[in-house]
């Protein structure tokens, strides 16, 4: 029997950079085109900035300390 259709051909392809235009709203978690990758390929490369994983991703202090005039007027 000759080789049937090439089902798994795409399994060896590298993930392609995708067009941001087609991002919009597919809620399905797609299969990955590759099975496994080393952790280095999961980390961000930030060009010139150091890639030490310490990039500031979350704001923990967000309280608003600025004077809110309308507020203070009401509470006199």
Which residues bind to another protein, rule: CB under 8 A?
A: 1-5, 7-8, 14-18, 20, 23-24, 26-32, 34-37, 39, 41-45, 55-65, 68, 71-72, 74-75
Whether residue 34 contacts residue 15, with contact meaning beta carbons closer than 8 Å, is answered with yes
In the complex, the smallest distance separating the C-beta of residue 12 from another protein, rounded to whole angstroms, is 13
Spatial CA neighbour of 12 closest among 36, 47, 29: 36
Query: Could you report how far apart the first and last alpha carbons of the chain are, in Å?
Result: 89
Place of tokens 């990955």: 32
Indicate the residue among 52 and 60 with the shorter CB distance to another protein.
60
Indicate the residue among 23 and 50 with the shorter CB distance to another protein.
23
């Amino acid at each position: 029997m000759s080789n049937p259709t090439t089902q798994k051909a795409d399994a060896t392809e590298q993930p392609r950079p995708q067009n941001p235009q087609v991002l919009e709203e597919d809620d399905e978690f797609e299969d990955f085109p590759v099975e496994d990758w080393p952790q280095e390929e999961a980390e961000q490369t930030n060009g010139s900035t150091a890639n030490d994983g310490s990039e500031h991703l979350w704001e923990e202090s967000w309280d608003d300390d600025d004077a809110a005039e309308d507020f203070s007027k009401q509470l006199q």
